[in-house]
Amino acid sequence: MSPTGKNLPAKVLIVGPISSMIELQLLNTGLSTIRIAGNDPIHAACEAMEFRYKISPDSMEGKETIMIVSADEYTECIPAAYYSAHMGVPMLFTYRDNLPEITKQKLIKYNDKNILVISSEQTISDHVLNKIRLRTFWAQKKNPCKHFILFTRVFLI
Protein backbone atom coordinates (compact mmCIF):
# COMPACT_ATOMS: atom_id res chain seq x y z
CA MET A 1 0.00 0.00 0.00
CA SER A 2 1.12 3.54 -0.61
CA PRO A 3 1.54 4.97 1.90
CA THR A 4 2.57 1.93 3.90
CA GLY A 5 0.89 3.04 7.11
CA LYS A 6 4.02 4.30 8.84
CA ASN A 7 4.30 7.90 10.05
CA LEU A 8 0.68 8.71 9.23
CA PRO A 9 -1.75 10.75 11.32
CA ALA A 10 -4.19 7.82 11.55
CA LYS A 11 -4.46 4.11 10.80
CA VAL A 12 -7.95 4.35 9.27
CA LEU A 13 -9.17 6.95 6.80
CA ILE A 14 -12.95 7.28 6.72
CA VAL A 15 -13.95 8.72 3.36
CA GLY A 16 -17.40 10.07 2.64
CA PRO A 17 -20.68 9.83 4.53
CA ILE A 18 -19.85 6.84 6.73
CA SER A 19 -21.83 6.36 9.94
CA SER A 20 -20.30 7.84 13.07
CA MET A 21 -21.08 4.49 14.74
CA ILE A 22 -18.46 2.84 12.50
CA GLU A 23 -15.90 5.43 13.53
CA LEU A 24 -16.73 4.90 17.20
CA GLN A 25 -16.29 1.12 16.82
CA LEU A 26 -12.89 1.67 15.20
CA LEU A 27 -11.82 4.02 17.97
CA ASN A 28 -12.97 1.50 20.58
CA THR A 29 -10.63 -1.11 19.07
CA GLY A 30 -7.70 1.27 19.54
CA LEU A 31 -7.40 2.40 15.93
CA SER A 32 -6.92 6.06 15.18
CA THR A 33 -9.12 7.63 12.51
CA ILE A 34 -9.31 10.65 10.25
CA ARG A 35 -12.58 11.57 8.58
CA ILE A 36 -12.42 12.93 5.05
CA ALA A 37 -15.64 14.78 4.28
CA GLY A 38 -17.77 14.55 1.19
CA ASN A 39 -21.51 14.14 0.87
CA ASP A 40 -21.20 12.26 -2.41
CA PRO A 41 -18.46 10.26 -4.17
CA ILE A 42 -17.39 13.17 -6.39
CA HIS A 43 -16.74 15.57 -3.51
CA ALA A 44 -15.31 12.85 -1.28
CA ALA A 45 -12.81 11.88 -3.99
CA CYS A 46 -11.69 15.50 -4.31
CA GLU A 47 -11.24 15.82 -0.55
CA ALA A 48 -9.38 12.50 -0.44
CA MET A 49 -7.06 13.74 -3.19
CA GLU A 50 -6.24 16.89 -1.22
CA PHE A 51 -5.51 14.77 1.86
CA ARG A 52 -3.45 12.38 -0.27
CA TYR A 53 -1.19 15.16 -1.52
CA LYS A 54 -0.44 16.19 2.06
CA ILE A 55 1.10 12.74 2.60
CA SER A 56 3.63 12.02 -0.09
CA PRO A 57 3.06 8.59 -1.66
CA ASP A 58 5.97 6.21 -1.90
CA SER A 59 5.33 5.50 -5.57
CA MET A 60 6.25 7.79 -8.44
CA GLU A 61 2.82 7.19 -9.97
CA GLY A 62 1.14 8.64 -6.88
CA LYS A 63 3.15 11.82 -7.24
CA GLU A 64 2.63 12.27 -10.97
CA THR A 65 -0.78 10.87 -11.95
CA ILE A 66 -4.50 11.44 -11.40
CA MET A 67 -7.07 8.88 -12.55
CA ILE A 68 -10.46 9.89 -13.92
CA VAL A 69 -13.25 7.30 -13.73
CA SER A 70 -16.98 7.17 -14.37
CA ALA A 71 -19.33 8.34 -11.63
CA ASP A 72 -22.14 6.55 -13.45
CA GLU A 73 -20.69 3.06 -13.94
CA TYR A 74 -18.77 1.92 -10.87
CA THR A 75 -17.85 -1.51 -12.28
CA GLU A 76 -15.40 0.17 -14.61
CA CYS A 77 -13.51 1.83 -11.78
CA ILE A 78 -13.00 -1.25 -9.59
CA PRO A 79 -9.48 -1.90 -10.94
CA ALA A 80 -8.69 1.81 -10.57
CA ALA A 81 -9.72 1.75 -6.90
CA TYR A 82 -7.34 -1.12 -6.16
CA TYR A 83 -4.53 0.58 -8.04
CA SER A 84 -5.24 3.85 -6.23
CA ALA A 85 -4.99 2.14 -2.84
CA HIS A 86 -1.75 0.36 -3.68
CA MET A 87 0.06 3.09 -5.58
CA GLY A 88 -1.32 6.24 -4.00
CA VAL A 89 -2.76 7.59 -7.25
CA PRO A 90 -5.74 9.88 -6.60
CA MET A 91 -8.99 9.03 -8.35
CA LEU A 92 -11.56 11.61 -9.46
CA PHE A 93 -15.01 11.09 -10.95
CA THR A 94 -16.86 12.44 -13.95
CA TYR A 95 -20.25 11.88 -15.52
CA ARG A 96 -20.60 10.63 -19.08
CA ASP A 97 -21.54 14.00 -20.59
CA ASN A 98 -20.67 16.43 -17.82
CA LEU A 99 -17.37 17.07 -16.09
CA PRO A 100 -18.32 18.11 -12.52
CA GLU A 101 -17.13 21.59 -11.62
CA ILE A 102 -15.19 20.39 -8.57
CA THR A 103 -13.37 17.77 -10.69
CA LYS A 104 -12.58 20.44 -13.28
CA GLN A 105 -11.19 22.72 -10.57
CA LYS A 106 -8.92 19.96 -9.23
CA LEU A 107 -7.62 19.28 -12.75
CA ILE A 108 -6.87 22.98 -13.15
CA LYS A 109 -5.17 23.16 -9.75
CA TYR A 110 -3.03 20.09 -10.47
CA ASN A 111 -2.43 20.73 -14.17
CA ASP A 112 1.12 19.41 -13.94
CA LYS A 113 -0.11 15.83 -13.34
CA ASN A 114 -0.56 13.08 -15.89
CA ILE A 115 -4.22 12.25 -16.40
CA LEU A 116 -5.27 8.64 -16.81
CA VAL A 117 -8.86 8.10 -17.95
CA ILE A 118 -10.15 4.61 -17.16
CA SER A 119 -13.38 4.20 -19.08
CA SER A 120 -15.14 2.88 -22.10
CA GLU A 121 -16.52 5.23 -24.72
CA GLN A 122 -19.99 4.46 -23.36
CA THR A 123 -19.29 5.87 -19.91
CA ILE A 124 -17.15 8.95 -20.57
CA SER A 125 -17.99 10.82 -23.76
CA ASP A 126 -15.55 12.43 -26.17
CA HIS A 127 -17.10 15.75 -25.13
CA VAL A 128 -15.92 15.27 -21.53
CA LEU A 129 -12.62 13.81 -22.64
CA ASN A 130 -12.00 16.94 -24.73
CA LYS A 131 -12.77 19.08 -21.69
CA ILE A 132 -10.08 17.31 -19.72
CA ARG A 133 -7.57 18.19 -22.47
CA LEU A 134 -4.50 17.07 -20.60
CA ARG A 135 -2.12 14.23 -21.30
CA THR A 136 -4.66 11.45 -21.40
CA PHE A 137 -4.59 7.71 -21.66
CA TRP A 138 -7.96 6.45 -22.87
CA ALA A 139 -8.64 2.83 -21.95
CA GLN A 140 -11.29 1.82 -24.47
CA LYS A 141 -12.57 -1.58 -23.48
CA LYS A 142 -16.10 -2.90 -23.21
CA ASN A 143 -16.01 -4.94 -20.01
CA PRO A 144 -14.35 -4.45 -16.61
CA CYS A 145 -12.28 -7.63 -16.91
CA LYS A 146 -10.65 -6.38 -20.09
CA HIS A 147 -10.13 -3.00 -18.41
CA PHE A 148 -8.18 -4.70 -15.66
CA ILE A 149 -6.01 -6.65 -18.10
CA LEU A 150 -5.12 -3.50 -20.02
CA PHE A 151 -4.64 -1.68 -16.76
CA THR A 152 -2.14 -4.22 -15.44
CA ARG A 153 -0.21 -4.15 -18.70
CA VAL A 154 0.11 -0.41 -18.50
CA PHE A 155 1.23 -0.21 -14.89
CA LEU A 156 2.44 -3.46 -13.49
CA ILE A 157 4.71 -4.98 -16.12
pLDDT, tens digit, 9 for 90 and up, residues 99-108: 999 999 998 8
In a domain, 141, yes or no: yes
In a domain, 5, yes or no: no
In a domain, 1, yes or no: no
pLDDT for 131 equals: 81
Can you give the residue range of the structural domain that contains 124?
12-155
In a domain, 2, yes or no: no
Mean pLDDT score of the chain: 78
Q: How many domains does the chain have?
A: 1
pLDDT of 91 over the 90 cut = yes
pLDDT for 144 equals: 55
pLDDT of 38 over the 70 cut = yes
C-alpha dihedral over 116, 121, 125, 129, to 10 degrees?
A: 30
- Span 48-58, average pLDDT: 78
pLDDT for 155 equals: 45
In a domain, 28, yes or no: yes
| Closest of 155, 157, 156, 124 to residue 138, by C-alpha | 124
